[in-house]
Structures are given as structure tokens and as C-alpha cells.
Chains A and B, each alone.
Chain A
Amino acid sequence: MRTGNIVQLGIKELRGLFRDPMMLALIVYAFTVSIYTASKAQPETLNQAAIAIVDEDRSPAAARIITAFSPPYFTVPRLISQSEMMSRMDAGLDTFALNIPPNFQRDLLARRSPAIQLNVDATRMSQAFTGSGYIQSIVGDEVSEFLSRYRSAAPLPIDLALRARFNPELNKSWFGAINNIISSVTMLSIILTGAALIREREHGTIEHLLVMPVTPFEVMASKIWSMGLVVLVAASISLIFVVQGLLAVRIGGSVPLFLFGTALYLFATTSMGIFLATSAGTMPQFGLLMMLVLMPLQMLSGATTPRESMPEIIQNIMLAAPNTHFVILAQAILFRGAGLAVVWPQLAALLVIGGLLFFLSLRSFRRFLQ
């Protein structure tokens, strides 16, 4: 092995990349515009939830409830008739429909415990749960306040002081921004190394390399460092200028530590890219294979939905994927301000997985060359 060759071949990769303006434009897009829009588009959990109210009582108590719903959590409630209710929900216009029955106020004051009906479109999973909880508590508050003018209640004096740590306002755009950086890092590192390898084979240049005093190890290492570097630089710039700058996300921990973790992660993903390229014969096959591997990895890494909710077996399988560890590491460092003492197991896991993937790819790369 000679470091000189690895450096020279890596520089060759970089030069090649800089000759492809379309690819450069896409990289810039992925790490700036794409992250910015995706983060800005992320609504709060309950943002502008569409609600309609059928008011069959038209009493002051009902009016009180209606006025309690307002942006930003809810849209201004649309007052509709009973007959409209189902067709609007079918068309997906409303997520929630509240039906206040006739004589609601009278029954309330008479302590007959009247029932309000809340219809929820349960196919909108993200809003159905939290939204109905909010609505119940809003209605409850309004009703008890309305009643408090008539009678006094004596609840138990046990408070629950509920606080969210690390992101007190539960600002979703923070999460979205970091998540998008992670997925761009993964996608780009796999595509850059894998597709570059297939291209070398389709153009016959790989064969040429092998009659020179260059080993497969050097060829592979050069691709890994050069393409990894490109992604690392792009991710750092994006983190500092787009995420911290433009999106004003408060980052809890050390950025250098995160970048160190990213470098280890890139070692693993670029090796994976080479492995995929050696398994795929042509570029279309590589494209499909990449999607097939990339999407489950992203979906199940714990970045989109919490790991705890997945079946046990999937959780265990996903421990073998570098993404899982990187997502844990990124969330710990960037949001929870964790230091080396906390994230070292993830760093170690990334190193081990990266080393294994590198070894596997090197083996299949040697076979690929024959």
C-alpha cells in the first residue's frame, strides 16, 4: 500500500467530480435548498389542523367552544350542517368534525352530562391522536370555565409539571433540518462512490488502473477518502450556514465531535456504495439496488419514526446498519448536547461496522475486477 497512490487517485476523483457541473449543482441543491424547504415546510405537530363544527345548540356555551379554536393549532372552524359533515370528511377537507348536540347548555347546567361528538379522520395518523387530545382538553377547559361561573369545583391539588428537554417548544423544523442532512449524507455518499465505480467499469478505465502498480485496496481507499471528503465538507457547510445560520436551529453539542462521527459514518456508507456497485452489473441495476437498500435503511434508522415502536426483530437487525448508530449519535450530540462520554459506543459501533463493510467491499471488489 502506498499513501501516495491513494492521494493521487483521490485527487483524480475530485477532478472528475468538478468536471460534472450538473452533479455539483445537485450536491449544492441537496445541502441547501432542499434542507431549507424541507425544514420550513415541517408543520408543528398540530398546525392548521382542519376542523369543522356542527352547532345544533347555538347557545353561549357552544359559542364559547367554537371561538376557542384558532390558528396556529387549528384552522378557524368552519360551521357546517349535519348533512355536510360526512361528505367533507370523505373528501379529506376536514380532519376533525365536532358535533355539539341540541340543548347542550341546558343539559350542562342541569348536570345531565351531555355528550359532544368528535369525529376524527384516523387515516391522518400524525394529527388524529394529538389533535383529539387537544380538542378534548380545549372543550374541557371551556366547559369548566363556563360552569365555574355557576359552581365551584374542588380538584385534587396534584400538579404535573411537564417539560420538554432539549427542544422546549418541540420545534419540528429543527428535527427536520438535521434529519434531512443525515439523509442527504447517506444518499450522496452511496451514489458518489458506487456510481463512480460502475462508470469506471463501463468506460474501461478500471482495467487500465490494474495494469499499473496500484492495488485494489488503494483504488478503493482513494474513492472513499475523496468522496467522503466532498460529502463531509458539504455537510459541514450546510450545518453551519444553513441549519445554524438560516434556520437558526440551536445546536446543543460540539459540532467538531458530530463531524468526527460523520466522518466515521461516511467510511461505512462509502464502503457500502462500493459494495453495492460490485453487486450491480449496470447503472440501472445500481440505481434500483441503491433505492432498495437506501429506503429501508432511512426508514428504519429511527430518523422518521422512533425505534422503540418497531418490532423487536427489526430493531435488532437495524443495529447492524450504520444509519441507526449515526441517527442516535446525531440526535444525542446535536440536540441533547451529549459529549464523547455518552456517544462513544456509537462511535465504536460505526468504526466496527465501517471496518466490516470496508473489508467486505474490498473482497467483492477484488472479485469484481476479475
Chain B
Amino acid sequence: MTDAPHAFPSSASAPVIRLEAVGLSYGTTRALDDITLDIPASLMVGLIGPDGVGKSSLLSLVAGARTIQDGHVHVLGGDMTDAAHRRRTCPQIAYMPQGLGKNLYPTLSVFENVDFFGRLFGHDRREREERIQQLLRDTGLAPFADRPAGKLSGGMKQKLGLCCALIHDPDLLILDEPTTGVDPLSRRQFWELIETISKDRPGMSVIVATAYMEEAARFDWLVAMDEGRVLATGTPAELLRQTGTDNLDAAFIALLPEEQRRDHKEVVIPPRRADQGGDVAIEAKDLTVKFGDFTAVDHVTFRIARGEIFGFLGSNGCGKTTTMKVLTGLLPASEGEAQLFGREVDPRDMDVRRRVGYMSQAFSLYSELTVRQNLELHARLFRLAPDTIDGRVLDMVDRFDLSNVIDALPDALPLGVRQRLSLAVAMIHAPDILILDEPTSGVDPVARDGFWQILSDLSRQDNVTIFVSTHFMNEAERCDRISLMHAGKVMISDTPEQIAARRGGGSLEEAFVAYLKDAIAASDTTKASPTPHIATTAAAAKPHGAMHSTLSFFDPRRMFAYTQREALELKRDPIRATLAILGSLILMFVMGYGINMDVENLSFAVMDHDDTTISRDYALQIAGSRYFTELALITDYDDLDRRMRSGELSLAIEIPPGFGRDVARGSNVQIGAWVDGAMPSRAETVRGYVQAMHATWLAQRARQLYGNAATTGDHQIEVRFLYNPDIRSIVAMAPTVIPILLLIIPAILATLSVVREKELGSIINFYVTPVTRLEFLIGKQLPYVALAMLNFFLLTAFAVFAFRVPFTGSFVAFTSAALLYVIITTAMGLVISSFMTSQIAAIFATALLTMIPATQYSGLVDPVSSLQGAGAVIGRIYPTAHFVTITRGTFSKGLDFGDLSGPFLALIVTIPILLALGVALLKKQAN
């Protein structure tokens, strides 16, 4: 250890970052422990250390993306706990989080991504376009300006991330493992780019976390970290001097505490034994995979012997992963053959699967299961004998050093530890073949060496065949043979030494880069040239033209940045927009016809004990009405009971024996009627019908007996059905479907628009850019308000023209109310989103919180004034109830603004309440 941990380079000015006793915990895990550190300004500073020592946490605190728990973080001369300072400084800070393209929007094009960030920082159009052209040219992305970010290779994603970060001329650039998972050529280009930029802007400070020690060697100043603490600081030369080593890998290992260092030894892979050579484990013959017109893998041929370690190298997106997927049976080959152990790869062949272990590039284990549960689940799925499972799991835990995280959830673990877990899972069933897709991306040097020691043991002792892809040259050198791949083709396959020797005996990396450059030059140079044309220009040093506007609390430009982005995403996902529009119309159609309050065609049957003309006349009276349909006669009470229980009969009439005789005589007689009460509203209607028909029949009888005088009543009641004189259900129901549809669909879309960003990680842009909470919310809301209004016009037209519901009132009033209402419904979605972290819960919660109150408490069927209990309270405040009143008023009652002031006022008051709630609940930093 060093005696002077805070050794400053002589050229240092005032520190750009000052940390005082900073601590951070996730639950019981201590990520950062009492860190006190000054980071000098205007330098390229590297943060090095194993995985999970707190590098990323530290950077997110400095960027202001995470709430500070203990201590003080001073950045650019102010305290980052102070929200006002954060708002002031965030235009000067740029933060690129870990993970390939995590803060980018995959459906937006390269240009649109950068443009979005430019808007967030308040640049005007001309300035933005100028800068974007410049940045894309400098990074070699200009030919790809229209390509969606999701379709870029890893290296290009990182360059795009850098463009987005540099758009606002930051004084402090924070990069969290920017080159992890990026091929050597792109990596080299990336650093050349950064160096040029910092040369142009000498005042800019850059702080980088990295796992590549050869990169760290080029930095001005280093901070070595371990277990949430700082081990040492200083220039690379100083660190080498302190430790007495000749490279940074060794220096870092020397800096580690004794107990950790003890485990580490240099990886030495013994040569393959002569008896290992024999049979072929993996073979590909002219393997070709096409996706539409695009050929991802182009006639690839190789043969890997049992027990061999075979390396696969190549630029990002060159077809390595696709080849591996074919070998595991995940993808079918378009042409050619892939064989494992001499058998054609067959996805249905479970025996072969059991002999193969696969680790995919992205972490693909269950984040909802703990480390132990993940291991156990896979052990069981691979049918390990139950009594050996515990032992095997412990074995893996020891081997991959997972014992201290065994009950942790993977999401809480750093990338490197997660990669170790993935590998442990891939090896749990002791497979004969291991197919590993970039297994060591993001893993620190010590862990990587341990990992390769395991691979070596597996290959040499257990004769396991290992097929591994990597971006690390020192790993490639350890393979028995390697293949270089580019654009779907294998350029060369040989031992690493041979390959290096063929390109003039330099390092393997130089040979690799040379091969890649040749291949790129051979292909269309104008199109695919990723070589940066780093034209040193003055543009990067331009003054901050837009600084004034970034300070205000509400800037329409920033708000529209989000609006425009959301609208673009909606446009790029036509299925979503179509579903939203077409779906509403289908629902309107179905519900308009389906919610029918006209009860007709009710089934009934008669048990006629009398069977005379009079009794048949009585039954005919009912059967003749349009409300009832007569079914076969009821034979006895058992029949009656069975048919009523099965729901076949809604009504059963029993006519007693001697009915005809008794009626003729005028003696007392009683007809029995049973109504199925299972559905009370229907039963009420049936009851009403039967009573009315009974009365009519009586009147008819009376007329036959006493003549016409008997028919005039003692009084009359003139019933006038207002607003809907034909009492058509559709006139009553169709307009009220509009409020329901304008609630549910916009609310779900708005909720998901926020929760999706949370789940996929791009919410970080909201944390670290000057956009305020209100701008964020309203910005996201606007496209959905527009979509909902479009829906509104379509639905109204549908009601008027297709359903022929007369519209009698003021259309302007109705439209204004609809606008207020959709602002409310989308705002409700935003409020719900602030509670939710997963999209599943968000969908369920929105459905639950909108569908039930809207259909049951909003006066759709039962008037609000008739509701009871909590339902009545909800009905009085729920916006749908007010909008239903306005809808009915304007549709059927011919009303205008003046008549509807009450509900209008209720809607207007709701908007600021919901927006305030949304702003209050939304967090501007991660916890």
C-alpha cells in the first residue's frame, strides 16, 4: 500500500470533484465506504478496480443521477445534494452510463437520438443541426445518420452515446465502462476520438471507469478502488513505481490486500496432450444464416476437436453470436451444416442439449431468483441427481467465488459478478461442450484470470471442448486456435502465434486490426468506413449559446424534446398507434351493440295443468310479445327445477288445474310465475313485463265480459320518454362508451411510456439532464393527448354516423370537454406510473384503477346519485362521471357550456391537482 494516497500530479489545478466521507448502501450491502478524494480538473482520470467495488455507484453520484446518502459530493464548485446546484451544473456535466446504448432510444435514428439530447439542452435548430453534423462526421457515424440506434453494432452505439454526451460541450465528461464489449478496432477509434476532443477542449475533465488496464495506462491520473474504498491514486507511472511492477495489471494486483492477492496466480495453460486430439466435437460446414436479404453468417466452415479451446474474434455485429446460436440450436441454419459430436444440430434433441453449456452475451438469468435459486433451478432442469445438487451448487459457488452473494438477487450485483453467475449456471451440469459468448465482458482482470484458469482446467483435465468469443487479446492468445470473423465471413483460422506471425510478427491485436482494416478497405469504402475523420475544428469550443434558457424552471423547448421523441417512438411503432385507434373503434362497435338494456327474446315455458282454450290464450298472450320466446311445455316440477337451474328458462308460468272453469265462473284463481333471480336487473325487467301483460290480459277479459266501458281507467298517466323517445339502448349507451375508451387506452399508454423507460434504463436521461419534472410529464403527455383527441373524433363520428345517435347539443362544448378529459386521463396514467417499476404491474394497476370505476361508478348504467358507500364517493370525484354527464347532455339533451358549468368546473379543477401529484411523486434521482 501507499503512504500517500492523494498524490497529485504536479500540473493539477483546483479539483473538479471533491468527495468527503461519501458512503452508499444498497440494503445491507455497502457499495461505497467513507470515500474522501479530490479529483484534479482538466485531466483524463481513470477509475480502475474489480467488479462491484463501487466504481459505477461513485460515478452516478458525481453525475447527480443517484441520491447522496452520506457525506458530501462537490462537483464543479457546488454541493450535489443541493437541487439548485444540480440544476445549474447539469448542463456542464455529461454522463454515459454503463451498458451498450443503455440511455439511447433504439427505435430512433442516430440523428434523432443526438437531436433529442440537443433539444434537452435547449439548443436552437440551426445550432443543433450544425453540431450534430460535426459530431457525426467526427465519429464516423455520418453515413449511418438514418439508421435506428437499436440496429447499430456495440462500438457504434458507444460512439453514438458519446455524441449524445458531447452535444452540449460539457466541462465534465463521465464515462462508465464505455468500451466494455466493444471490439479492439472500435475501441482504438473511440479513444482516439476522446483524445482529439480533449485536445480541442483543454479545460474539459474526463473521468472514466474501465476494466481494460491497457486503456488505463494511457490516462493522466488513476484511482484504484476496491471494496468501496480507494486503494491508491496517482499517474500510471507513479503507480508502477510504487508497486515495482512493469504493467498496470500487475500493479493493480499488487495493490490489492494480501488475502485477495493470494488467490491470484498467472494463468498458465499447459499444451494439449497428444491423446486428446482424436474426435471432432463441433463442426460447421458452409454454415450460412440469412435474415431476409441480410446474410449474417456467410459460408463459415470450422472444425473443433474435443478438448480444444477455440477462440472467436471479430468486430461487433460480425456474426459471431449468430454462429453460436446456430450451434446451440436456437437459430436454424439457412444453408450448410452444423454438427455436435458428429450429429446434426437438432433443437428437439434433448440429449445433446444436456451435453452443451451456453452463456449468451446479455445476462439472461432470472433476476427475480437469488443466486442460489438460479443455480438450483438449472441443476434440476438439467436433471442432476437430486442428492448431488447441493454439492454441485456449493462446488460452483466456491469455484466462481459467489459465496458472499449467494442469497442476493442478480440485479443488485455488478456486471462482472453476474457474468460469473452466468458461467456457473452454464457449467452446472458439467457439459462436454461450452459455448461462451463474450463471457468476460465487463469482468475485471483478476476475475478474468480466475475464469481462464477454470477454462484451462476444464479443457486439459476434463477434456471439455470450449468455444469462446472475446474482445480481449490476452484471452485470445490463450486459445489453442482462433478464428477472425468479419461481416459474416471467417477471414483466418489458426493458432494465435501463427496469425501474429503472418502479419509481420507484431502483437495479435495489431494483426487483428490489420486484418479488419483490410477487410473494410476491400468492401465498399464510402459506405462502411468507420475510420474517424477527426477534423480539429473550433466548433467544439463554441461558447455556450443556449445556457440562459437551461436555467429556467419551465422551458417549452425541453418539454417539446420529450414530446417529439415520444411521438417519434409512437410513429416507429405503428402497431401500437393502430391498435390504439382501431382498437377503440372495434370496442365501440362491440360495446355499443353488446351493452343492450332492451331485454328481449327471454325464454319462458308454461306448465299448463289446465290445457283449455282460456289457459292457452293466457300463454299465447306472453308468447306473442316480442319480449318472450316460448320453449317446450314443462312436464312436471322436476323438469321445472332442472330447466330453471340450468338457466334455460328465465320465466316459468304455472297455470293451475281448472283455470278455465274458474275464470268463467269468476271464482278466485291464482297463476304462478317464477322468475330467474340470478341476474337481478333482468329479473326486474321480466317481472315488469309479466305484470303488464297480466294486466292487459285481464283488461281484455273484462272487455269481453263487461263491454267497452270497463276499459277506460279512472285516471291516465302519460309517460313521456325524454331525450331518447324510442328508448333505444344504443342512444343511451353509445355516447357513454366514448368516456370509457378515452380513459382506459390513453391511461395505459401514458403509464407504460414512463414505466417502460424505468424498466429499460433510459430514465437516466431524465435524471442527468436539465429537464424538469413538469417538462418531462407534460412533454410525455402531449402525444398521447393528441392521439386520444384523434380517437375522440373518430369515436364521435362513429356514434353519429354508424350508430345513428342524434347529436343535439353544442359540439364545441363537447370537444372542449373531451380535451380537458383526455388531459386528465393521460395525467392519471402518469400518476399511476410513479408508483410502478414493472410494466406488468403497471398494466394491471391501470386496468384495475380505470376499468372498474369507469364502468361501475360513473353513471354509465346506474346513475351516480343512486350509488352507495365508497362507490358513491368515487362516483362523485371520478372525472369519467363528469364527462359522462357532459356527453349525455351534449349528445341527447341539446345542452351547451352554460348548462354544464358544474361538470366543466370539476374537470378543470382536476387537471392541476393531477399534474401537481404527478410532479410530487416523480423522483428526479435514483434511490
User: Which residues of A are at the interface with B, using a C-beta cutoff of 8 A?
Assistant: 2, 4-5, 8-9, 11-12, 15-16, 19-20, 22-23, 26, 29-30, 34, 37-38, 40-50, 75, 87, 89-92, 95, 108, 111, 113-130, 132-133, 135-137, 139-140, 143-144, 147, 155-168, 170-172, 174-175, 180, 187-188, 191-192, 195-196, 199, 202-205, 207-208, 210-215, 281-292, 294-296, 299-300, 304-306, 308-311, 314, 328, 331-332, 335-338, 341-343, 370
- Residues from chain B with Cβ under 8 Å of A331 in the complex: 647, 678-679
- Residues from chain A with Cβ under 8 Å of B84 in the complex: none
**In the complex the two chains form, what is the Cα distance from A12 to B375 in whole Å?**
12
Which 9 A-B residue pairings sit nearest by Cβ, starting from the closest? A41-B871, A167-B677, A164-B677, A16-B368, A122-B724, A195-B840, A122-B721, A335-B678, A125-B597
Task: Return B902 CB to nearest CB of chain A, in Å.
Answer: 8
User: Which of B837, B867, B871 makes the CB contact (< 8 A) with A22?
Assistant: B837
**In the complex the two chains form, what is the Cα distance from A128 to B726 in whole Å?**
12
Task: Return B712 CB to nearest CB of chain A, in Å.
Answer: 6
Choose, from B74-82, B295-303, B357-365, the stretch at the interface: B357-365
**In the complex the two chains form, what is the Cα distance from A132 to B722 in whole Å?**
12
- Residues from chain B with Cβ under 8 Å of A170 in the complex: 677, 680, 683-684
Choose, from B557-565, B769-777, B843-851, the stretch at the interface: B843-851
- Report which residue of B409, B681, B844, B857 has the largest number of chain A beta carbons within 10 angstroms of its beta carbon: B844
**In the complex the two chains form, what is the Cα distance from A164 to B331 in whole Å?**
63
User: Which of A40, A291, A306 makes the CB contact (< 8 A) with B682?
Assistant: A306
Choose, from B61-69, B225-233, B348-356, B513-521, the stretch at the interface: B348-356
Contacts A122-B724, A162-B690, A332-B647 given; indicate if A144 touches B714 (C-beta within 8 A): yes
Interface status of B271 (Cβ within 8 A of chain A): no
List which B665-720 residues lie within 8 A (CB) of chain A: 666-685, 687-688, 690-692, 694, 698, 701-702, 705, 712-720
**In the complex the two chains form, what is the Cα distance from A332 to B678 in whole Å?**
8
Contacts A40-B868, A162-B675, A212-B353 given; indicate if A113 touches B714 (C-beta within 8 A): yes
**In the complex the two chains form, what is the Cα distance from A140 to B720 in whole Å?**
17
Nearest residue (CB) in A for B570 is A284
Q: Please, could you name 16 A-B residue pairs with CB atoms under 8 Å apart, sorted by A?
A: A8-B377, A26-B844, A29-B848, A42-B862, A122-B723, A123-B893, A143-B714, A147-B714, A158-B694, A161-B672, A188-B844, A205-B364, A296-B587, A309-B599, A332-B678, A335-B677
B409 touches A332 (CB 8 A): no
- Residues from chain B with Cβ under 8 Å of A343 in the complex: 646
User: Which of B573, B591, B685, B857 makes the CB contact (< 8 A) with A295?
Assistant: B591
B382 touches A213 (CB 8 A): yes
List which B319-377 residues lie within 8 A (CB) of chain A: 328-332, 347-348, 350-351, 353-354, 356, 358, 360, 362-369, 373, 377
A91 touches B899 (CB 8 A): yes
Contacts A117-B720, A296-B591, A342-B645 given; indicate if A130 touches B684 (C-beta within 8 A): yes
User: Which of B674, B681, B744, B843 makes the CB contact (< 8 A) with A195?
Assistant: B843
- Residues from chain B with Cβ under 8 Å of A89 in the complex: 722, 893
Nearest residue (CB) in A for B672 is A161
B666 touches A291 (CB 8 A): no
Interface status of B522 (Cβ within 8 A of chain A): no
Nearest residue (CB) in B for A171 is B680
Q: What number of A-B contacts does a CB cutoff of 8 Å give?
A: 449
Nearest residue (CB) in B for A342 is B646
B645 touches A338 (CB 8 A): yes
- Residues from chain A with Cβ under 8 Å of B331 in the complex: 370
A212 touches B599 (CB 8 A): no
Contacts A287-B748, A310-B596 given; indicate if A116 touches B579 (C-beta within 8 A): no
Interface status of B191 (Cβ within 8 A of chain A): no
- Report which residue of B382, B727, B841, B857 has the largest number of chain A beta carbons within 10 angstroms of its beta carbon: B841
- Residues from chain A with Cβ under 8 Å of B836 in the complex: 22
A121 touches B727 (CB 8 A): no
**In the complex the two chains form, what is the Cα distance from A285 to B601 in whole Å?**
39
Nearest residue (CB) in A for B628 is A308
A interface majority secondary structure: helix
Chain B 714-743 per-residue mask, 1 if CB under 8 angstroms from chain A, else 0: 111111111111010101110000000000
**In the complex the two chains form, what is the Cα distance from A341 to B360 in whole Å?**
54
- Residues from chain B with Cβ under 8 Å of A48 in the complex: 865-866
- Residues from chain B with Cβ under 8 Å of A123 in the complex: 723-724, 731-732, 888, 892-893
Known pairs A166-B676, A187-B847. 6 more at Cβ < 8 A? A49-B866, A162-B675, A205-B366, A291-B748, A336-B644, A341-B642
Task: Return A25 CB to nearest CB of chain B, in Å.
Answer: 9
Nearest residue (CB) in B for A139 is B717
Task: Return B916 CB to nearest CB of chain A, in Å.
Answer: 23
- Residues from chain A with Cβ under 8 Å of B356 in the complex: 211
Task: Return B621 CB to nearest CB of chain A, in Å.
Answer: 12
B671 touches A163 (CB 8 A): no
B683 touches A130 (CB 8 A): no
- Residues from chain A with Cβ under 8 Å of B600 in the complex: 308-309
- Residues from chain B with Cβ under 8 Å of A192 in the complex: 840
A40 touches B871 (CB 8 A): yes
- Residues from chain A with Cβ under 8 Å of B329 in the complex: 210-211
User: Which of A2, A26, A128, A284 makes the CB contact (< 8 A) with B752?
Assistant: A284
- Residues from chain B with Cβ under 8 Å of A289 in the complex: 579, 583
Chain B 574-605 per-residue mask, 1 if CB under 8 angstroms from chain A, else 0: 01100110010011001101111111111100
A167 touches B583 (CB 8 A): no
- Residues from chain B with Cβ under 8 Å of A121 in the complex: 722-723
Contacts A171-B680, A291-B847 given; indicate if A120 touches B719 (C-beta within 8 A): yes
A310 touches B594 (CB 8 A): yes
Interface status of B632 (Cβ within 8 A of chain A): no
B677 touches A113 (CB 8 A): no
Interface status of B635 (Cβ within 8 A of chain A): no
Nearest residue (CB) in B for A24 is B841
User: Which of A20, A162, A336 makes the CB contact (< 8 A) with B841?
Assistant: A20
A305 touches B595 (CB 8 A): yes
User: Which of B366, B586, B712, B863 makes the CB contact (< 8 A) with A12?
Assistant: B366
- Residues from chain B with Cβ under 8 Å of A188 in the complex: 844
B718 touches A118 (CB 8 A): yes
- Residues from chain A with Cβ under 8 Å of B671 in the complex: 158-161
A159 touches B670 (CB 8 A): yes
B866 touches A43 (CB 8 A): yes
Task: Return B75 CB to nearest CB of chain A, in Å.
Answer: 34
- Residues from chain A with Cβ under 8 Å of B725 in the complex: 122
Contacts A191-B843, A288-B583 given; indicate if A22 touches B838 (C-beta within 8 A): yes
Task: Return B44 CB to nearest CB of chain A, in Å.
Answer: 34
**In the complex the two chains form, what is the Cα distance from A158 to B700 in whole Å?**
13
User: Which of A115, A171, A332 makes the CB contact (< 8 A) with B716?
Assistant: A115
- Residues from chain B with Cβ under 8 Å of A46 in the complex: 684
Task: Return B374 CB to nearest CB of chain A, in Å.
Answer: 9
Nearest residue (CB) in B for A16 is B368
Task: Return A83 CB to nearest CB of chain B, in Å.
Answer: 15
- Residues from chain A with Cβ under 8 Å of B909 in the complex: none
B383 touches A205 (CB 8 A): no
Chain B 233-267 per-residue mask, 1 if CB under 8 angstroms from chain A, else 0: 00000000000000000000000000000000000
Interface status of B180 (Cβ within 8 A of chain A): no
- Report which residue of B364, B680, B856 has the largest number of chain A beta carbons within 10 angstroms of its beta carbon: B680
- Report which residue of A212, A284, A299 has the largest number of chain B beta carbons within 10 angstroms of its beta carbon: A284
Interface status of B441 (Cβ within 8 A of chain A): no
- Residues from chain A with Cβ under 8 Å of B824 in the complex: none
**In the complex the two chains form, what is the Cα distance from A22 to B846 in whole Å?**
13
Interface status of B663 (Cβ within 8 A of chain A): yes
Contacts A158-B663, A160-B671, A195-B840 given; indicate if A167 touches B680 (C-beta within 8 A): yes
User: Which of B593, B748, B848 makes the CB contact (< 8 A) with A26?
Assistant: B848
User: Which of B330, B580, B596, B650 makes the CB contact (< 8 A) with A207?
Assistant: B330
- Residues from chain A with Cβ under 8 Å of B729 in the complex: 125
A116 touches B716 (CB 8 A): yes
Interface status of B839 (Cβ within 8 A of chain A): yes
Nearest residue (CB) in A for B902 is A91
A163 touches B675 (CB 8 A): yes
- Residues from chain A with Cβ under 8 Å of B749 in the complex: 284, 287-288
